[in-house]
Every structure is written in structure tokens, then in C-alpha cells.
Structure 1
Amino acid sequence: MHNTNSPFWADDNDIAEVMTVDELSELGTGDVAYIKAVKAGDLKEMFPDVPPLEDDLTLYALLNADGTPILLADSRAAALANAFEQELEMVSLN
């Protein structure tokens, strides 16, 4: 019997074949982005070439749907403006 709280295709035993892990990880890449506040001390992992900054300085990273860094800005407004300029769909992680 079909569960009315799930889509019709969710009853299929082969649901894993609908989308591969690689396809899922690339979903939204290049079209969807989010902004994340980061402390300067944590930037080396995301932006290896970032110059030394005060560790407690807060910056804003514009990130692709898969977490790939796009831009680093000194304000959320600047990161958001760049996202709109690049015609990226913004999502919230809250």
C-alpha cells in the first residue's frame, strides 16, 4: 500500500538509482549559494592563500552549494551583492 505522506516514487525499491551520490553532491552547483560568517583564524582551510589577519575578525564567505568557496568579503551585504551579480539563487542554512 502506498504511504500518502511520501511521493509516489518513494515506494520503489530501486530509489537509489534515481540519483547517484555524485549527482546529488553536484545538485545546485553553479546555481545555488549560501553565505557563511567565518572568523579569520578559520579561513586557511577554505582560502589557503588568504594573508594573515586578526584571528577574531569576522568575514563573510560566499560558498557554492557544495561548499566550494566563491568569494570572501568584509560584509554580508558585499557577499550578497556578488551573489546577485552572478545570478546565484541564495539559500538559508538556518
Structure 2
Amino acid sequence: MNTPFQGFPETAERIVYVRPVAVADLPDDIREQVGEAETVYSVHAPDGQQLALVADRKLAFHLARSHDYAPVSVH
């Protein structure tokens, strides 16, 4: 595979934070949509705004990168 490296985002505005979220902590209507998972992952902007909620960590990182963001794990 010969994919050119696009480099890293130039500013901190292109960073997003990925963190695990316990499904039990989510509102009822969201829990109903999740199914049997115990943990999902949220993607947040630097200001704390939640941008996405996805099924797994790998998908969260893929989603961020596909939108030209640099994902960072938060524990």
C-alpha cells in the first residue's frame, strides 16, 4: 500500500478527544439504541462539545481521521 502521508493538523482546533462511556450512564432513549454493549465511545471537541457517540474505539478514531481530525484518547 502506497498512501501518501498527509501530515498532522496544523492547529489544536483539529484535535478531538475519544473517551469510553458506560452505557448505564446514558439517557434511556440512547441506551435503547445501543443494544447489548456495556461501553461506547464519545468523540469530543476541545471545548467539550460531544461530536459523536460510536460503538467502539477503533470506529471513533476512524471517524475522526476521516474528517481530518487528530484523535487523542482520554481515560
TM-score by length of 1: 0.54
Deviation at 1:38, TM superposition (A): 0.5
Task: Give % identity.
Answer: 23
Deviation at 1:55, TM superposition (A): 9.0
1:79 aligns with 2:63: no
Going from structure 1 to structure 2, the CA distance change for 1:40 and 1:65 (only over 3 Å counts) comes to: same
1:50 aligns to what SS in structure 2? Answer: helix
Give the structure with the higher percent strand.
2
Can you give the 5+ residue segments of structure 2 that lack an aligned partner in the other structure? Answer: 1-10
The higher-RCO structure (CA 8 Å, 6+ apart) is: 2
User: After the TM superposition, which segments of 4 or more aligned residues of structure 1 sit over 4 Å from their partners?
Assistant: 53-56
TM-score by length of 2: 0.65
Distance 2:37 2:64 in 1: 25
Structure with bigger gyration radius = 1
Aligned length: 64
Kindly provide the CA deviation profile for residues 27-63 of structure 1, in whole angstroms up to 9, marking residues without a partner as x.
944x21010001012223xxx8624357971001111
Root-mean-square deviation (CA, aligned residues, Å) is 2.9
Distance 1:65 1:88 in 2: 11
